[in-house]
A and B are shown apart, each in its own frame.
Chain A
């Protein structure tokens, strides 16, 4: 019962925040508009333009926009690679951590640049405070700003007609960073500290444990507790749907997520901007109904996924029940007592609906159907609210496809908001959807038949397949959560997953920008009786259907061999692995 109330509360608060956040984003992403924070950040904004020598009034066509984005991502990735390789020479390293190996540094730099935040390492045993605060936090901000910028560019392309340009990348990047991500993170970080999250630069704390060491000599008499500038990083980690944990246990760690209240705001912050962007879409195309139709399609799939995961986890693991474990407690392996079953299932669903990837429970220890939900969420492309920006532009690819399919069904040229959708747009959308599919299935297939792929499995049998599938789904989808038993800090995994992350990011973004350019240049055609409505129930159902059918047709075979098989083995056999 308490779960239902919390779910209703979450959806309700998200719905209420969608419009104000969307309007705010509209003002930030419309450079002529006044945001309200100019007295604080306006001078800084103008100074940025002066230093980087960018005329904020000059817009770019889609190709220049793409080049700016690629150059910026490249520079940031190299910087992080260098910081990680030279960690031992840099300041703020009280634990004296050494440099990262070349493959781990490459993986991590690609991971944070692409908003993935896959971590082949444990934060508190690998990263200096400098690496965390500069090397990684930089991307937590900028990869989020890039995602939002790309979504805005696409929406501008949709809303403009006979236009050559789709905005200025540098202006979008700087305005989003200054007016959206920085101020919200600042307030959020302070709130998180008030709840118990740490923010300091001292060495790890060594404490005397409470139980007298003479009572049990097998226990160490002290406990070393990791410290660091955590709150400033975690705020943007959640708000920017990055997900990279400051410490290994991520948002399951008591410092990184101290209580149910911090948990609620962390999951809310994941969906905050993605939900607001649907309102921004409606506002820009002057059809708020369209924005809400997309919102509702996302919300339906979100609630559906949550209910499946919640039900599977509350039902628990029958193999433990027969050992005398309380069945009503559900599957508590890999979960924290303060969150319990519902908040763990909810967090898992949200973090994979979006491309966040933070975890407050260990997904590897979920029941088979519980683990099915995040896998499926990532495989459909994280378009259920989705990553900041990435969720909206991913979903708009599905919108184009849905309209194309609807056009085929009624035998008309598909139209989207007054523009004819031609072969070019559909081909580009198909590239954006198919490249990730090829990456996920191709790399997984390669992994499971190779020694490098199976040598570091933590579980074997169908769960082992799920571990590899999860890793490449997470990397390609730029999610970053893991079936974390799989040991990926080896050259093969680090390198191939970095390639999957880069492909999953840029091989989608570039087609998206090309579509933006295409659509911007099109002429408007008058809306006729044959135009397909892009708001209302029919459209929402069609959109959900397109996402689910494409996802299901593509991935059900491999999911049948992984979590589905494991589920039936769990309830109908006594087989163990």
Chain B
């Protein structure tokens, strides 16, 4: 025990010094560089509209329910797309609640987009993401929604499909890029 007590002094001093360096100097240096070199990213990749109002972040998904917009994935973040309460459903594969939720979403998705029962629904359209803030939807999901969006906006489906190709981000679609 005495040996342990003897070590407490260097332990205290080492903790103090390391705290100043690693929890003070280091994050502030990163902050300084980030704010100078990558200010947009460091501050949340925020998007501002023509009147100067911040209308979202490039990286964070938002809830869209109107027919004119592509609909994002189901979200378990707060009441849906709560940017201050990220998270998934954490429902297991045999959860009654999960099956009920997906059954309902499949029915809603078919009705809204006029998808016949012989066409399978893309998994991302009816399952909740991990963060609840997923800004992407799959290409298949976007294409199935395209005719509905076209109709609601009174434009041709081809134009919407071409727009989707242009907004494709690697293997997935940049959801927020679809703002009208």
On A, residues with C-beta under 8 Å from B are 2, 44, 48, 51-54, 63-64, 67-68, 70-72, 74-76, 79, 122, 124-125, 133-134, 137-138, 141-142, 170, 173-174, 177, 182, 185-186, 189-190, 193-202, 204-205, 207-212, 215-216, 218-220, 223-227, 229, 231-233, 235, 247-249, 252-255, 258-260, 316-317, 319-320, 323-327, 329-338, 340, 344, 359-362, 364-368, 458-459, 461-463, 466, 483-485, 566, 569-570, 575-577
Contacts and interface: CB of A to CB of B under 8 A. Distances in A.
Contact of B14 (A173, A252, A330): A173
B109 to A, nearest CB: 9
Nearest to A44: B21
A490 B55 CA distance: 38
A68 B95 contact: no
| Interface-centre pick from B9, B86, B93 (highest chain A CB count, 10 A) | B93
B95 A255 contact: no
Contact of A249 (B58, B87, B126, B137): B87
Given A225-B44, A254-B134, A365-B93, 8 more contacts: A198-B43, A231-B30, A253-B86, A323-B99, A335-B129, A360-B130, A459-B94, A463-B94
B129 A570 contact: no
Interface residues of B, number: 103
Given A133-B23, A210-B64, A566 B94 contact: yes
Contacts of A125: 84-85
18 contacts: A64-B7, A71-B10, A134-B23, A137-B22, A190-B30, A194-B37, A210-B64, A320-B102, A325-B126, A330-B123, A333-B89, A334-B127, A338-B170, A340-B171, A361-B130, A366-B93, A462-B94, A463-B92
B64 A174 contact: no
A458 B91 contact: yes
Contact of B129 (A232, A247, A337, A364): A337
A362 B134 contact: no
Contacts of A255: 44, 59-60
A438 to B, nearest CB: 25
Contacts of A53: 9-10, 13
A51 B128 CA distance: 53
A209 B121 CA distance: 27
Interface of B: 3-4, 6-15, 17-19, 21-24, 26-27, 29-31, 33-35, 37-38, 41-46, 53-66, 69, 73, 77, 79-96, 98-99, 102-103, 106, 110, 117, 120-124, 126-138, 140, 169-173, 176, 179
A231 B45 CA distance: 14
A87 B164 CA distance: 47
A337 B70 CA distance: 15
Contacts of A249: 77, 86-88, 130-133
B91 A365 contact: yes
Contacts of B64: 210-211
B90 A205 contact: no
A461 B8 CA distance: 48
A224 B78 CA distance: 11
A247 B37 CA distance: 24
Nearest to A567: B93
A51 B19 CA distance: 14
Contacts of A198: 41-44
A414 B89 CA distance: 51
Given A124-B84, A207-B54, A254 B123 contact: no
| Interface-centre pick from B98, B121, B179 (highest chain A CB count, 10 A) | B98
A362 B138 CA distance: 19
| Interface-centre pick from B10, B30, B69, B170 (highest chain A CB count, 10 A) | B30
Contacts of B33: 190, 193
A195 B169 CA distance: 14
A64 B4 CA distance: 8
A323 B104 CA distance: 10
Nearest to B138: A337
Nearest to A216: B65
Contacts of B79: 220
B94 A334 contact: no
A247 B130 contact: no
Given A224-B83, A231-B34, A463-B95, A71 B123 contact: no
A365 B179 contact: no
Given A207-B55, A223-B82, A333-B128, A326 B31 contact: no
Nearest to B132: A249
Contacts of A253: 86, 131, 133
Contact of B120 (A324, A332, A334, A458): A324
Given A186-B29, A209-B63, A124 B120 contact: no
A197 B60 CA distance: 12
Contacts of B133: 249, 253-254
B94 A569 contact: yes
B35 A223 contact: no
A333 B8 CA distance: 48
A63 B134 contact: no
Nearest to A193: B34
A-B interface, 5 closest residue pairs, ranked by CB to CB distance from nearest:
A485-B90, A329-B123, A252-B130, A225-B83, A249-B86
| Interface-centre pick from A68, A122, A252, A334 (highest chain B CB count, 10 A) | A334
B23 A137 contact: yes
Nearest to A335: B130
Contact of B11 (A48, A74, A224, A334): A74
Contacts of B22: 137-138, 141-142, 177, 182
Contacts of B121: 324-326
Contacts of A247: 86
Given A205-B46, A211-B63, A323-B99, A364 B4 contact: no
B129 to A, nearest CB: 5
A329 B138 contact: yes
Contact of B89 (A216, A223, A226, A334): A334
Nearest to A341: B123
A366 B93 CA distance: 7
